[in-house]
Structure 1
Amino acid sequence: MTYTKIAAAVALAVMASGAQAAAVTGMTLGDTMTLAGVLGTDGYEGTFKFNALSAQNANGASQFKGDVNGGVIDVTAANAWGSFTTGFLFTGAPFVPDTTGPIDIDITGTTMTVNSLPWGGYFTAAAFQFNMPNDAAPTYTLIQTGADTYAYRMKFNHVITATDDPSGTYVDFNAFWILEGTMTTAVPEASTYGMMLAGLGLVGAAVRRRRTVI
């Protein structure tokens, strides 16, 4: 194998090590993007609608904000209703989003992988917890704003089952959600940077040696 090929292989390995998935360690609900999907504010943060939801400004959609505790969503544990938002009125009674366990999301570059999103909400009119995790991978817009910070918008849905709603009132209803805010990922470990620097050093050495031989 020529030194050029060796250098190229090492360079690819270095790039791969720099593109490892980083776990999301922080998350908020907040107004971070416009409807066009660019950084900015437009008054929208969280949106809910049954059976059809194309965008946050959809007619008939219920809006909610991260108006409790700065909109901070704890990704390491369940968030009791009222932890990060006061929610919205549904049929005249408060419906308050919450989570039933840890949120597990990875980011690689600008690719977001949702491993677990135990989303739900407490409906005060029925005094009942509705669990509404994503039935499929959410669609999303993700914009990197710093070394380990991102603005996000994601849309997902969940078809309500009899387990979710023992009363049967909303069984088979398709609940759509749009969430918007910020995410923070874990800072890469020192060993990762060490491997990257070592890889770059090998590339430089290979190139220098090839020049000497020529």
Structure 2
Amino acid sequence: MGSAFAAVNWNGTANYTVAPGAQLDEEAVGPFDTYDMGAGVVLLKNTGGNNYNGFYQSFVTNHELASTSVNAPKLNNTYELTMAANFTQTVTPVGGSSSLINVNGGTFNLYFDSSVDRNFGADTGFTDGASILSGTIIGGTGSAVSSGSMIFGVTDITVKVDSYNVAVFEPDTITDAGGIFTLRLGSPFDAALLGSVSSVQGNAVNSGDFLFAADGNIALAVPEAETYGMMLAGLGLVGFMVSRRRGSL
């Protein structure tokens, strides 16, 4: 998981009863370190050559701690958590039926909504809540392989968390995140989902586009303890230098 700091998994709680628009019938969940996403969709639009613009939207099905599900009985009953992301990527054929995937950058938002109203077919309900966590997709790598009319891929992305609701998340030490997503096109198991989708984030699915089903997770991260020590030592040195400079005036 790349970032400006070395990172380890964040371990904390999220109190959704204090999120913007909460109706007080939500819950506090934790401790957890990962959001497990349900089956979502990725739309890829070619922008020339091997380059694509990507649009992703999905919803959280579970909170996890060390890969174990954390109890959150009200999730997707009295409230929902949805995610939307925009990104650019390059897909490079490497011979035969294989390709390499490079995610070049993008943005993402995690939304809280007190109404469970997401709808893939109508392309609504994914961004109408309050953003409680957002960030920049720094990059990512992966691969894909085609088999007949089906394509399967895996992508590992790195994220810098730019902002989050400090009233919701405790402790407020989140700096980074990372995710692993699987992509599927042409699988009969996804036919009902993909068959209902005609647009993603308002972008129509046109001939020549690729529409994938996507599963994945987002693990939240914090700087390592050693990094905190270096940061504090640096601040102490700055304070010492300022003190010396003032003393010499």
| Band of TM-score, shorter chain | 0.3 to 0.5
- Provide TM-score, normalisation by structure 2: 0.36
Higher helix share: 1
**Which of structures 1 and 2 has the bigger CA Rg?**
1
Greater relative contact order structure (CA < 8 Å, 6+ sep): 1
TM-score, normalization by structure 1: 0.41
Greater share of residues in strand: 2
